[in-house]
Amino acid sequence: MIAYIARRLLILPIILFGVSMLIFSMIMMLGPYQRLSTYINDPAQLKGAEDIDQLVSKYGLNDPWYEQYGRWIGGVLKGDFGWSESAGAPVTKAIADRFPATLELALLSLVPVIFGGIILGVLSAVHHNKALDHTIRIFAVIGWSFPSFVFGLIVLMIFYGVLGWLPPGRLSNWATEIVRSADFVSYTGMYILDGILNFNFSIVLDAIRHLIAPVITISILWWAFILRITRSNMLETLKKDYIRTARAKGLADNIVVYKHAVRNALIPVVTVAGQMVLGLAGGLVIVESIFNIRGLGQFMANAAQQLDYPGVLGGALYFGFLLILINLFVDVSYAVIDPRIRLE
């Protein structure tokens, strides 16, 4: 397994190179004057076409694409991903500043989505065509059919607009002042964990209160999807010959289901869960926009809207790196769940 992991990590630079080439080629389809907007803060300062042409020449936007790519990739190898105009900061700093918010939201969403979806999926399959199964399936269909932006707006309207319980953002104003003060040490950028490490539990509670609504919005869609995948695979697994043999030997139903059936039914679920983790860690544009969370999804959306191609390229490399690591984790999980699988 170690050799397999090492081989997968060795191809990481090749895949990232391919991702960067693909995104860079798409950006090069824009004209030099369109890409020039990235470098101009105030268009009113331009006096005429001569100024524009001088800037195009200054930044090499008329050079052959391979020269422009070479300059950019040369900076990347030195750790310089360029300047993000949409964030007003270097790309690396923009991603680093926004990653903790997305990671915190993703980690809190994983628990109810994965464990809740798997547990309810197993219960639904075990009680096939009974009242519990029908009830769970109805809620799963409702959750899967609800668009996340609609559900998010409803949650925001009810729990913040009407009841005032769950505000948007990451922290209240008073909590933000504490976090930015010299007495509060930011270890990770994740306010819940930092609040615990600083023994300031008022910050922890306030951060949790702000995250409940986005976590519910994310969970309702993915929870329903994981549940449906788990249920269908459990139903198929429970019909296998080895399950019938185990029951014929007189094994207790709980042992048959949770020791023999569940592990074999989880392999497709792990695949889906891996893709879900990628989406969560990459940032959810809709959820972060609705609840005003300054995360990676919001950053990528702003970069694309403002033609901030250093930000888009930096974000694309981040997603490529994340995709490889998560796929590697999923492959290793296969061998852990099912010992018959060998990674070579």
| DSSP calls for 99-134 | HHHHHHHHHHHHIIIIIHHHHHHHHHHHTTTSHHHH
CATH for 91-337 is 1.10.3720.10
Question: Cα(303)–Cα(135) distance, rounded to whole angstroms?
Answer: 43
Domain boundaries, the chain: 2-86, 91-337
Q: What is the pLDDT, as a whole number, of residue 341? A: 62
Question: Cα(214)–Cα(287) distance, rounded to whole angstroms?
Answer: 6
Q: Angle at Cα 12 formed by Cα 8 and Cα 18, nearest 5°?
A: 130
Tens digit of each residue's pLDDT (9 = 90 or more) over 155-196: 899 999 889 888 988 899 999 999 998 889 988 889 999 999
DSSP state of 157: I
Token match 């020269």: residue? 67
| DSSP calls for 155-167 | HHIIIIIIS--S-
Q: What is the pLDDT, as a whole number, of residue 193? A: 92
As beta bridge partners, residue 83 has 90
Tens digit of each residue's pLDDT (9 = 90 or more) over 5-59: 777 778 778 887 887 788 778 778 777 777 776 666 555 555 555 667 777 777 7
Characterise 234 by phi-psi region: left (phi > 0), alpha (psi -120 to 50), beta (else): alpha
Residue type present at position 177: E
Tens digit of each residue's pLDDT (9 = 90 or more) over 328-343: 777 777 666 666 666 5
Tens digit of each residue's pLDDT (9 = 90 or more) over 269-291: 777 777 777 666 655 778 888 88
Of the candidates 265, 212, 219, 218, which has an alpha carbon nearest to the alpha carbon of residue 238?
Answer: 265
